[in-house]
A and B are shown apart, each in its own frame.
Chain A
Amino acid sequence: MDTEIKKEILYDLHKTIEILQVPETKDLEELKTISDHSIEDIAVHKDLELVSVTVLLYSIYKIVSTMQPDDYQELLSALQSAEKSLQQNNLGRYNSSLKRLYSIVRRTDTAVQEHLQDVMQAARIKKGTALLQRGLSIGQAAGLMGLSNWDLQPYAGRTTALEQHDEIYPAQKRMAQARHVFGVR
């Protein structure tokens, strides 16, 4: 694993553990901030380990308030184990901890289980949209997040970044050009 990526993942895991150790409602927003934090590194490094952790942390943010106390403790313990394993460069154990984390998210409660696909999918779409905002193409952003262009495309027309650039050709000129190409008078 790349040193910079490892540093980034360790930072994200550590901050998440800190937040979950002393749970307060206001802190949940911080959990979201953490998953936002690594999006630039994903855009630059295209690292799938980082994508996986970012999607996991965003999913935790979405479901943590519905977790049962036992699941919550198990989640915290798995996060601590993932952090420790990565610090020790024990990638086998780190991957097992991540698997455990995904499985805890999966079985959190019936409601979440029912919408599991949505939680993970929503996290991927959310992060994919953040990559679009950074200027990556739909194909790049969807590919990194393990999505198809069909999943991400509806969000491409709605990014606020779209309104923040200048088009070189006015829309009316584009329309006139299209008419010319199609021979429409």
Chain B
Amino acid sequence: MAAKKVLFFDAGPIISIVMSRLIWILPELKKKFGGQFYITPAVRRELIERPLTIKRFEFEALQVMKLLREGVLEVYAHVPLKKVRELQHLANTSFHIQSQPLDIIQTGEMESVACALEEDAAAVVMDERTLRLFIENSSEMKHLLEGRFQKTVTADAAAIKKFSQQLQGITIIRSIELVGLAYTLGLLDSYIPPGASGKEILLDSVLWATKYNGCAVTEHEIEEIKTYLLQDYSN
């Protein structure tokens, strides 16, 4: 069965895009997608209510609020709380340090994933490295934690397996891929500077802006994406 024309956005990619001054690409991408862009109530709190109380991010909150008002983003009200708790419990009991479970994921972050499962969504848009790595490659997650803590990290193989099984097949898109799509669709064409390497300069600037505003993407990946998009676009 084909996935529904629905995307669930975590807070991260919207923060990356707003802070990269690229929020205007979202309505255009939605038109191309032809479906719904959802956020959960917890994501709404992080994107609007919270920054409205911080002078530095108040205007960013208003920009997201505008997207909601215009219907580009919609709040998904039917969060499957039981599923969220179950996934949350599995994730936060998968790794232990000195017999203490390591809480690595917050409830709000799990909401988008649980909703995407519930709705059979086409994808989850997420910049957060920890949850993404856990969903896509849990053995690498253990490796990462082991490398970063001086204390011994033990993994609960059964919990990890159960978590992975539930989230198998879920598609994750990052903000950097949304920016790549905007480039492919020609939305960024008016920014191409004159000269033979204009497109390359544009790609460098927007991809690095997205990384520096929070998208978990490595330098190597940026080069890969750039090569892919430049080849593709010149064909």
Contact = CB atoms under 8 A, between A and B. Distances in A.
A150 B19 CA distance: 9
Interface of B is mostly: helix
B39 interface: no
A140 B103 contact: yes
B104 A175 contact: no
Interface in A131-185: 133-140, 143, 148-151, 153-158, 161-172, 174-179, 181-184
B178 to A, nearest CB: 7
A136 B104 contact: yes
Contacts, number: 177
A44 interface: yes
Nearest to B97: A44
A175 B231 CA distance: 13
Taking residues whose C-beta sits less than 8 angstroms from the other chain, chain A's interface range is: 35 or more
Contacts of A138: 12, 109, 128, 130, 214
Interface residues of B, number: 74
Given A43-B102, A150-B50, A165 B144 contact: yes
A171 B216 CA distance: 12
A45 B100 contact: yes
30 contacts: A135-B149, A137-B105, A137-B128, A137-B130, A137-B131, A139-B46, A140-B105, A140-B106, A149-B46, A150-B19, A153-B19, A156-B129, A156-B214, A157-B127, A157-B213, A161-B148, A162-B129, A162-B216, A166-B137, A167-B136, A171-B228, A172-B224, A172-B227, A177-B171, A178-B180, A181-B7, A181-B122, A181-B171, A182-B32, A184-B184
Counting from the closest, the 5 A-B pairs by CB-CB distance are: A139-B106, A153-B214, A178-B177, A171-B221, A171-B224
